[in-house]
Structure 1
């Protein structure tokens, strides 16, 4: 894009080809310096390279150099062109220059048809350069995007940087030095800068996808008419970047309470709260919220994550909940109060104390969410106990106290208390629940040994929850339930729930909502077992069977026992319905053996149910807009 005045040097803003031009001029500088160091080389040749292709001999800065690279490379590039002692540093420009110098210094093969002079001639006479100059009214950035579509794909951070500094023809150097360079240094990589621009967009448009970051930011920035407005925008983004850096590196946060909450969110490794957390830090930066209020607000975010995780509703819709909060918070209230009210209202699945207790007693925690988050959750629970030691999850694993495989000794002890016919059912119900799980660094030492032997190891552990378990004389369903209730009490106190008075219907329990969605898509002509569905949902067969026997659920008749038999406990929840479930299943295409067992070839296994559940859960979420079109924002 040209910018020139009659009688002056013609100046062009290079939109595409900067790297190639920079590489060529560095090669020319390397050839010049090689010739200068060679015996018998003509000074006329070196001066010609320097004054004709590298510099404008009679001009001062900033027009002295033929090519002016981006601000980040400018100092190193100038050192090479000027032959300064610092030329050839360890940055990319210096590395390229040193590479060329080294190759030129290699002994010339006597059989090779070329030397340094031939290389120079090839550069200045044999190389063709296509030059396309845009007119003042052309959208050069769009031209650049179309020209670049077959080359190395640029990140949206690259596109935004190029676009911003294209809009800063006279203030670019100053803005880069004051704002952009510190931003790049603090965030370390372009991907984080791209994420920062996306989070900034989410404050205004919660539905924007990250792939649309550049398009939406460009549409917004196009409304700014002057360099000063663009410079102010870069300054604002840089300030936002300093807050984003605190989220990435919580140890830099000066306030202890806020630092702890930011560290917890970092441990959780979830990006969904990021737009809200950034907004909260921005409120403090503006002076409209205190650190104490922000720490309490971050606790509400943490409570939402913890409670949803424990009830098995970990991530569904959370990205929209947190992003929308930025615009929907009641600005007349303190930030912490406004956020808790927002999270408590509507169907955001902020689990109540009662729902949390029910989940701790019934949900198969061992299979909930990602394994890393399960371990973090257990670590956080351990920190609720008074102790001088800081527990790190790095070397710990989650251990079952009542083992996954019952030894004869375990079976005997459980049978003596609960009856032989109840052992398997009780084992399945309680095995993976939170009350039966703990943390240990010596999993192999515990294994499936009898409780008396485990108890010795647990008592000697530095982990407080293990010491508490070791106070029991025996271990089984009664002790597991008692511990689960105690853990639920600690969790409720540590992570406050929704505002009192917030109404959440009993049927809003995410476990049963997920079950209903899964059962709704069970196809006719197929059947599944209580155990498999319970495994997929993260619960046990018994509470699932109790639920189906008590509350209406779609296609409940397609859920059978482990061997394909209709459960003796099966009842239609409609008291007026008396038809035989087997006849219904046969009409749907299920084949039964003479002994009353459904055809195993028609059974849906774990993998089938997982796929059906994924489809069912996806259908509950609003579909994202396809394509990259940008609506008019004026």
Structure 2
């Protein structure tokens, strides 16, 4: 039976004791990534303690075992079973603090810190308080003794160098921190849980169970150890009757989630990473075993409720079950705190099933309406986490939820706003792919068809296609606005809700003429599609009329707020401002692209930019890449030519004053910059170990859309990729994308892929994804990848798109020489991505 207690570095190191890292432990292997993380934690803690001196920061656990050589008297010796990386790093930081203070303040700091925390001064044989493995011992001893060899080219030396350099910058930071504040934070502010095995335990087996089998200590494990430390007499009975059944209901991650949700009901600002420390601080106020046992009993009851949230099929009431199933399908886990509260209210008899089902419908409506108006993610986590603590406790629970969501700037669109914005907002560019599909599926379900269709197998179809043919241009030309081109009308309409349906014939329909699509849609078992087939043509007036009809149905299915949410603008100008603020130098966009992004027309965008100071407004041009004739700077007295400014930023112009079209940021790329839609992510890991249906569907869609030549060429690339060691993943969108994975998510630095293939015919280069993935988070390698790809015929990716997801046509692969060249570049990428992965034990 192990003993666990929370302590500090001071508690561990003071006194005559020694910690030995066993030989079977790996050598010290932390890198600058971990140094920077723990240094940032220490600095933040030092700032926090300036106002709250008792503040602490939990940094993990330390597993110890009495050394077999330890006698009844003398130095207390312990083997470091787990946590040596953390403990070694902190003592190296103390060495750096000691040397800095000795040099800049007084030599007394050297003697003080040595004798108190780093050495056992009167023990010749056990002089070091921490004894690393033999491979690290010389470098570590040089650090403690502060010899000329300190800071050498080895992991221990690099750690010392990092902290020594960081300490010299304390006084020049934006918020200067005194070094004594840093020392105090390290010594008494960093909290660890020390878990000590009993004498005679097989230490190697303990280490093996903690590391080699992946059974690391979670925050739930730490909480369990703390709780049963507080139950010396009732522990066995409480464990068997309450804790063990609770633990068996959930995965380790779900168990941590339960304890975090319990905290969020009291304080929505609690981070999930602080679950153990926050729960422990709360439980410390309990004084008797009966009080602690009552808490475990309460956890057990809440666990039964969370189980229903995670597995809605186990809910008995059909109305509540339907709402839970829908909210689960939506995939927003930040709704869990309010769902747990609702089920808890029913469990305690203060709400009925009908009331909590109604409250859940309001939550569903909140999600759906925000998605429809292009505000799906704005402040969503903050809003949802605060529902329980901020809603009116005196109202029935369903009324309280509706009132809370209705007030303030929460973007729960009222009926009038929704009707107006559904016509123009690019629904297909907002939110997650599965959420867009769900809205259309739920709309279809509202028809209560007597011939049900397997809706989950259907995909979203753009009736007006994403790629225009001449025939579609002629159809659009019939009802253009003044000075509007067919391409501008297409950009404004193509992604709106009125132009979308769900079908099983997506790849077959592609960009076929409407007369062909109409025949296929008429045969569909989906009412949303049959309604479209009733039309003789498909232009602006038909798309807007259908948007109006869908809006009528939406306001019936999903009730709106109790009142208008203040004076919110119907046009999301903040989204425009965000996109322009992120628009990189060397790039430009058009009034029409911005208008399509926010669901308005080019003229209002022009008026807005002409009258409201907006960052990078000079990077907005007319569709042909020409500066608008009435452009003017809003800065008084400024008269320079915007083309000169753009040239200086890297935009190329031809002899007619037209900007290079390859440097234009499209509406889809603007959506990436504005963060209104997340990137598609791979669903499966391997073409051969994964979902065969997805792999087959990708090739079926690709062949139907691009023809057998491109499909065959793409298959050659995929086979070559897997031969060199890569794997294939597939997206869960309506168009089944294929990812070329060079690393999988289990790697320390996460998964990584260079490109994504889409059946619609594009190869997307995922610079946006690479910008946060080692080693491509540095711009140098991304720039080399861009230059390599630009060597392919027909590929020209602008430097300004190094943080976006530009694409080139898959038809490039049909050329054998180009295909071979691409494979050379992919092999280079794969080699760059194969960073060695150190053992993950002890990573904070």
Name 1:483's counterpart in structure 2.
Answer: 546
Q: CA offsets, 1:600-629, max 9 Å, x none?
A: 7986678986775459x9xxxxxxxxxxxx
Distance 1:553 1:326 in 2: 39
Q: Does 1:516 align with 2:586?
A: no
Counterparts of 1:295-444 in structure 2, within 5 Å, are 295-416=357-478, 418=480, 422-444=485-507
Q: CA offsets, 1:405-425, max 9 Å, x none?
A: 233333334445559974222
Name 1:293's counterpart in structure 2.
Answer: 355
1:305 partner SS: helix
Tell me if structure 2 keeps the 8 A contact 1:379–1:391: no
Name 1:552's counterpart in structure 2.
Answer: 612
Q: CA offsets, 1:211-234, max 9 Å, x none?
A: 111111111111112111111000
Q: Does 1:460 align with 2:523?
A: yes
Tell me if structure 2 keeps the 8 A contact 1:364–1:540: no
Match of 2:514 among 451, 464, 474: 451
Tell me if structure 1 keeps the 8 A contact 2:475–2:538: no
Match of 2:193 among 124, 142, 153: 142
Q: Does 1:529 align with 2:590?
A: yes
Tell me if structure 2 keeps the 8 A contact 1:363–1:538: yes
Identify if the C-alpha distance between structure 1 residues 450 and 523 changes in structure 2 by more than 3 Å, giving closer, same or farther: closer
Distance 1:505 1:281 in 2: 34
Distance 1:369 1:400 in 2: 17
Tell me if structure 2 keeps the 8 A contact 1:428–1:540: no
Q: Which has the higher helix share?
A: 1
Q: CA offsets, 1:159-211, max 9 Å, x none?
A: 11222122222212221222222222333x11111000011110111011111
Distance 1:607 1:416 in 2: 26
Tell me if structure 1 keeps the 8 A contact 2:627–2:642: no
Name 2:556's counterpart in structure 1.
Answer: 493
Identify if the C-alpha distance between structure 1 residues 390 and 505 changes in structure 2 by more than 3 Å, giving closer, same or farther: farther
Tell me if structure 2 keeps the 8 A contact 1:255–1:291: yes
Tell me if structure 2 keeps the 8 A contact 1:273–1:323: yes
Distance 1:412 1:584 in 2: 35
Q: CA offsets, 1:495-522, max 9 Å, x none?
A: 122113x34324264x321112333455
Name 2:622's counterpart in structure 1.
Answer: 561
Distance 2:642 2:270 in 1: 47
1:439 partner SS: strand
Name 1:256's counterpart in structure 2.
Answer: 318
Name 1:90's counterpart in structure 2.
Answer: none
Tell me if structure 1 keeps the 8 A contact 2:491–2:592: no
Distance 2:639 2:529 in 1: 47
- Alpha-carbon distance, 1:436 to partner: 0.6
Distance 2:196 2:272 in 1: 18
Name 1:123's counterpart in structure 2.
Answer: none
Distance 1:263 1:453 in 2: 37
Distance 1:605 1:227 in 2: 64
Identify if the C-alpha distance between structure 1 residues 252 and 196 changes in structure 2 by more than 3 Å, giving closer, same or farther: same
1:142 partner SS: strand
- Alpha-carbon distance, 1:432 to partner: 1.2
Distance 1:405 1:522 in 2: 24
- Alpha-carbon distance, 1:336 to partner: 0.9
Distance 2:281 2:477 in 1: 70
Distance 2:645 2:340 in 1: 57
Name 2:86's counterpart in structure 1.
Answer: none
Q: Does 1:583 align with 2:641?
A: yes
- Alpha-carbon distance, 1:561 to partner: 2.3
Distance 1:390 1:581 in 2: 64
Q: Which has the higher strand share?
A: 2
Counterparts of 1:587-606 in structure 2, within 5 Å, are 589=648, 595-598=656-659
Identify if the C-alpha distance between structure 1 residues 411 and 605 changes in structure 2 by more than 3 Å, giving closer, same or farther: closer
Distance 1:550 1:256 in 2: 55
Structure 2, gaps ≥5 residues long: 6-190, 198-202, 679-844
1:394 partner SS: helix
Q: Does 1:186 align with 2:249?
A: yes
Tell me if structure 2 keeps the 8 A contact 1:507–1:513: no
Distance 1:374 1:543 in 2: 29
Distance 2:541 2:589 in 1: 30
Distance 2:611 2:312 in 1: 47
Counterparts of 1:19-418 in structure 2, within 5 Å, are 142-144=193-195, 152=211, 153-187=216-250, 189-416=251-478, 418=480
- Alpha-carbon distance, 1:252 to partner: 1.4
Distance 1:463 1:551 in 2: 46
Name 1:473's counterpart in structure 2.
Answer: 536
RMSD value over aligned CA atoms? Answer: 3.5
Tell me if structure 2 keeps the 8 A contact 1:549–1:571: no
2:467 partner SS: coil
Report the TM-score, using the length of structure 1 for normalisation.
0.68
Name 2:696's counterpart in structure 1.
Answer: none
Distance 1:203 1:543 in 2: 47
- Alpha-carbon distance, 1:470 to partner: 1.4
- Alpha-carbon distance, 1:323 to partner: 1.4
Tell me if structure 1 keeps the 8 A contact 2:260–2:272: yes
Distance 1:546 1:354 in 2: 25
Tell me if structure 2 keeps the 8 A contact 1:429–1:542: no
- Alpha-carbon distance, 1:546 to partner: 5.7
Distance 2:500 2:668 in 1: 26
Identify if the C-alpha distance between structure 1 residues 569 and 424 changes in structure 2 by more than 3 Å, giving closer, same or farther: farther
- Alpha-carbon distance, 1:571 to partner: 7.2
Q: CA offsets, 1:21-47, max 9 Å, x none?
A: xxxxxxxxxxxxxxxxxxxxxxxxxxx
